[in-house]
Amino acid sequence: MTFTEIPLGGAAIITLNPIRDERGFFARTFCAATMRKHGRIDTFPQANHSMSVGTGTIRGLHYQTPPAAEAKLVRCLRGEVYDVMVDMRKGSDTFLQWFGCTLSEGDFTVVYVPPGFAHGYQSLADGAEVIYQSSAEYTPHLEGRIRYDEPRVGIRWPVNTPILSPKDATTPWLAADFEGVVL
């Protein structure tokens, strides 16, 4: 596993190192000791698997507040997605800045999303599938959301005609006095 830091503090791209032979490949997708060595959360009690039927589907942008603030490990298993995270941490040097990257089946890339970040992705192929591990169980009353088109963030999504859930479509704009999530 190779860790590459990205411009948002604490976030990283993790490249898996598959071992290939005539039978196929083997790749370690998670190692608690390696996560600790790189200063990352190493306990993930919940795993999720989602499939988006149509190209352009956006899932997110969601986060959880303490005491259920969560880190995520995100990987695309089928198709392709544009994965996005937004720094929501109060007082962070990169507050409300975003980072996006494409994840594709077979690319052996995992995104590490730290606590205090909103996360979402847009499907770039019909039937795109994503798995992600969460360091906290889903806690609905501690969930926060930001709109995919929040003007204070300015994400440039690849597909201009998004498909949204009713919950994400009705997410309000960030309040003018929003100062971030306190961890």
**Positions marked active-site:** 62, 132
* Nearest by Cα to 59 from 133, 174, 157: 157
Write out the two tokens for 64. Answer: 């959880």
Write out the two tokens for 173. Answer: 């704009």
Residue showing tokens 């005539």: 22
